[in-house]
Amino acid sequence: MKTLKASSIHAESPLIVAQPPNTERLLQTGIQYKSVTFTTGLVPRVLGPSGRLCASSARFSLLVKSTWRPDMRLLLIAIVAICISLQGCGAQNDFPENQKIPGPIEASPEWQVIELDQPLRINREAFQQGLHIVVDPEEFSSNSAHEDALSNDPEHFFDLRNAENELVVPEVVLVAENGSEIRVVSRSNIRLYEGGLTVGMRMAPDKVHAPSPPFPEGVEGVSAFRIRSNIPFTVDYFWWLVERHPDMQY
């Protein structure tokens, strides 16, 4: 097992080209969320400080698998479109817990330990917080963006596909300051304005379509983490992010 030393630095949330609706909430409604694709010609100045779209409209397509009638599916798409267009420009995501861990780091089938000079802190008020693995979108895509059997596996929905169309499954275990270990799994994908594609790693829920639970009680910080992958790939860097919080406007 290889051990690497890493320095984490505080940084504001990255600018996001377009963040899909809360997929975990959609899944709770009984809809199988398939993919959301945004296309927009918006320039950087229309992105709010939280990285969310700050504009009156954006063209997008939403694909869902559902037993709902066609008119009900159209109603859902309309609601999602309105929610996206109303996302506020004033939302701030400059929480002190946000940290960037520089790379690159080569993930392989062998476990690697990333020891941090400063612990990653848990925000107990956050609805959603996790470790984002950032990769090059020219080399990887989200598994959910494909239309085949692999993309229909809910346990790998937010994993990656490489240029050879192979399913790349990163595994991460967080090591808390108190010595406990926390397994996190892929729960989201985000496209960054600066060019990255992320795999958001959070706590595994009891059921596939349930929201990620909070971090265990007694865990206040993460001093290290382990990473490996079934297929080797390059991690450009990591983001430790508070993604949803009562103080953020949606």
Cβ 59 vs Cβ 38: under 8 Å: yes
Cβ 186 vs Cβ 201: under 8 Å: yes
User: Per the structure block, which two tokens stand in for 77?
Assistant: 């798409």
Burial (CB count within 10 angstroms: exposed 0-12, middle 13-18, buried 19+), residue 80? middle
Residue 46 located in a structural domain: yes
Q: Is the pLDDT of residue 92 over 80?
A: no
Whether residues 116 and 185 fall in one domain: yes
Domain extent at residue 142: 2-16+94-244
| d(C-alpha 124, C-alpha 106), whole Å | 31
Whether residues 185 and 111 fall in one domain: yes
Whether residues 24 and 117 fall in one domain: no
Residue 12 located in a structural domain: yes
142 forms beta bridges with 160
pLDDT at 94: 76
pLDDT tens, residue by residue, 103-138: 999 999 999 999 999 999 999 988 889 999 999 999
If pLDDT is split at 50, 70 and 90, which confidence band does 213 have?
A: confident
| d(C-alpha 44, C-alpha 37), whole Å | 19
Q: Is the pLDDT of residue 62 over 70?
A: no
Whether residues 122 and 197 fall in one domain: yes
Residue 250 located in a structural domain: no
Whether residues 117 and 8 fall in one domain: yes
Q: Is the pLDDT of residue 219 over 60?
A: yes
Mean pLDDT of 82-97: 54
- What is the value of pTM for the model shown? 0.69
Residue 110 located in a structural domain: yes
Domain limit, last residue, from 42, 66, 85? 85
Domain limit, last residue, from 85, 116, 137? 85
If pLDDT is split at 50, 70 and 90, which confidence band does 185 have?
A: very high
Residue 171 located in a structural domain: yes
Query: Structural domain tally of the chain?
Result: 2
Whether residues 129 and 201 fall in one domain: yes
Residue 249 located in a structural domain: no
Stronger pLDDT, 70 or 123, i.e. the higher one: 123
Whether residues 223 and 156 fall in one domain: yes
Residue 198 located in a structural domain: yes
Mean pLDDT of 80-104: 64
Stronger pLDDT, 119 or 154, i.e. the higher one: 119
Whether residues 179 and 209 fall in one domain: yes
pLDDT tens, residue by residue, 4-46: 777 655 555 555 444 444 444 333 333 333 333 333 232 222 2
Whether residues 130 and 157 fall in one domain: yes
Stronger pLDDT, 149 or 137, i.e. the higher one: 137
Q: Is the pLDDT of residue 71 over 70?
A: no
Number of H helices, E strands in the chain: 2, 16
Stronger pLDDT, 245 or 236, i.e. the higher one: 236
Whether residues 163 and 66 fall in one domain: no
Cβ 131 vs Cβ 239: under 8 Å: yes
pLDDT at 75: 63
Whether residues 24 and 77 fall in one domain: yes
